[in-house]
Chain A
Amino acid sequence: MVDKFKVAQPWLTLLARLILGAVLLVAGALKVPNLPKSAMAVRAYEMLPIPVANFLGYTLPWIEIGLGLLLIVGVTVKISGALGGLTMLAFIIAIAQAWARGLSIDCGCFGGGGAIDPEDTKYLSEISEIIRDIGLMGLGIFLYLYPKGRFAIEK
């Protein structure tokens, strides 16, 4: 059993890197063409002071791209995985608190975002967003624990 994990772990690390990296890269790249909208999506969570939310709306997509690139090529996997996991944790908290307060918002995860027509927020979508982000956070934790994998620049 232990031996099997030893064999599989580098491949699992590779898989985790590619999935988390690609999600971060795509999520960031989709937001970059419309950063004012990204800032609006962050404001809509009503968690942060407006200037901080606006700043985050402009910077977070680029940070997602950066983390995504690092994970895909396999550099600073331990730290990038941890930061990716922390980013997901922040999203989970943001979505959950918005849901608990009954805010009708689009998560803005892949572009879009902002307050929306209440009829368009389905509770199901919040649950699935949270489950997805928990899964991605798990990948980040895995990468923090087992950063060494196949096909990485970092040996």
Chain B
Amino acid sequence: MAANSGPDKGTRNLVIAMVAFIVAVGIIFSFISNRASSNFAIPAAVSEADGYGIVLNPTATPTIDVWVDYQCPACRTFEVLNGGYLNEIIAQKKAKVVFHPLTFIGAESIIAANAAACAADENKFVDMNLALFQNQAGSENSGKWQGDVMLAIGESIGIKSESFKQCVREGNYVKWTRNVTDASASKNVNSTPTIRINGKDLDRNTEYGDPVKFKAALAAGGVK
């Protein structure tokens, strides 16, 4: 097949070189643009040792890790079914709870995760977490979560401070979301929601969608 005429061979090699160039540049660019940030702001409640998650009750045991994407419908269902109990655990300091807002679904997930982190700085993370799910759009990246919508959601749960406004508008914690994603990848989180107690996965097939089984699973993990 190769090389029966000069010009054809030249074209062929040129095409191979160009395609190889596209692939190489693409791969290099992808790794650079998606790598974890090294120079970024993190909310006060975030702990690097906990996978850059937002930590509530840092000294309590056991540890419950929650990975969600604010645009993920299954995460909303989880919040509706089990969020109340989880918030009770947080309020009564029965466990250390670490929230990892992931942003796989896209731009509006980043906007929401940033706003949730801004709310954490106002000690309103739990309310904001719930409010974001309550305001979830029917479809992904629908355009609903743009502009000052996050401020309105914040205001609905009583956050009116200038610092929150500034944090949301300037996207203070946008870079941090990349580190959350990166840390979740190294912990083999492959889906949202993912809930772990003391590092052990709850059973996705049975324990996410049933509040009774969810409670039992947490109790088995040491939540009194």
Task: State whether A40 touches B27 (Cβ < 8 A).
Answer: no
C-beta contact mask, A46-68 vs B, less than 8 Å → 1, else 0? 00001100100011001101100
With A54-B185, A58-B30, A118-B205 known to touch, is A40 a contact of B20 (CB < 8 Å)?
A: no
Measured in the bound complex, the distance between the Cα atoms of B9 and A153 in whole Å is 9
**Does A134 make an interface contact (CB < 8 A)?**
no
**Does B190 make an interface contact (CB < 8 A)?**
yes
Task: State whether B26 touches A32 (Cβ < 8 A).
Answer: yes
Query: Which residues of A come within 8 Å of B, CB atoms?
Result: 32, 34-37, 39-41, 43-44, 50-51, 54, 58-59, 62-63, 65-66, 69-70, 73, 75-78, 104-105, 114-118, 147-148, 153-155
A65, A114, A118: which contacts B190 (Cβ < 8 A)? A114
Query: Shortest beta-carbon distance, A3 to chain B, in Å?
Result: 22
Task: State whether B16 touches A36 (Cβ < 8 A).
Answer: no
| Chain B 131-145 residues near chain A, CB threshold 8 A | none
A34 neighbours in B (Cβ, 8 Å):
104, 106
**Does B220 make an interface contact (CB < 8 A)?**
no
**Does B200 make an interface contact (CB < 8 A)?**
no
Query: Shortest beta-carbon distance, B8 to chain A, in Å?
Result: 5
Measured in the bound complex, the distance between the Cα atoms of B194 and A115 in whole Å is 10
C-beta contact mask, B11-31 vs A, less than 8 Å → 1, else 0? 110011001101100110011
Number of interface residues of B (CB under 8 A): 33
Task: State whether B185 touches A154 (Cβ < 8 A).
Answer: no
Looking at chain B's contact residues, is the secondary structure mostly helix, strand, loop, or mixed?
helix
A75 neighbours in B (Cβ, 8 Å):
12, 15-16, 19
B74 neighbours in A (Cβ, 8 Å):
116-117
With A75-B15, A118-B204 known to touch, is A39 a contact of B8 (CB < 8 Å)?
A: no
Of all chain A residues, the one with the shortest Cβ separation from B20 is A66
With A58-B31, A118-B204 known to touch, is A65 a contact of B191 (CB < 8 Å)?
A: no
Task: State whether B23 touches A65 (Cβ < 8 A).
Answer: yes
With A65-B23, A116-B191 known to touch, is A153 a contact of B185 (CB < 8 Å)?
A: no
Task: State whether A153 touches B104 (Cβ < 8 A).
Answer: no
A40, A65, A116, A154: which contacts B8 (Cβ < 8 A)? A154
Query: Shortest beta-carbon distance, B175 to chain A, in Å?
Result: 14
Query: Shortest beta-carbon distance, A33 to chain B, in Å?
Result: 8
Task: State whether A44 touches B190 (Cβ < 8 A).
Answer: yes
**Does B92 make an interface contact (CB < 8 A)?**
no
Of all chain A residues, the one with the shortest Cβ separation from B25 is A62
With A40-B190, A65-B26, A148-B1 known to touch, is A153 a contact of B15 (CB < 8 Å)?
A: yes
Query: Shortest beta-carbon distance, A146 to chain B, in Å?
Result: 11
**Does B59 make an interface contact (CB < 8 A)?**
no
Task: State whether B8 touches A153 (Cβ < 8 A).
Answer: yes
A54 neighbours in B (Cβ, 8 Å):
185-186
C-beta contact mask, B89-121 vs A, less than 8 Å → 1, else 0? 000000000000001101000000000000000
Query: Shortest beta-carbon distance, B130 to chain A, in Å?
Result: 21
Residue among A54, A65, A155 with most chain B CB within 10 A: A155
Which are the 6 A-B pairs with shortest beta-carbon distances? A115-B191, A66-B23, A44-B190, A62-B26, A37-B104, A114-B191
**Does B38 make an interface contact (CB < 8 A)?**
no
| Chain B 1-56 residues near chain A, CB threshold 8 A | 1-2, 4-5, 8, 11-12, 15-16, 19-20, 22-23, 26-27, 30-31, 34
Query: Shortest beta-carbon distance, B215 to chain A, in Å?
Result: 20
Task: State whether A155 touches B4 (Cβ < 8 A).
Answer: yes
**Does B181 make an interface contact (CB < 8 A)?**
yes
A-B contact pairs, 20 of them (CB 8 A): A32-B26, A36-B181, A37-B104, A39-B185, A40-B191, A43-B185, A50-B185, A54-B185, A58-B27, A58-B34, A59-B27, A66-B19, A66-B23, A78-B1, A105-B190, A114-B191, A118-B204, A118-B205, A155-B5, A155-B8
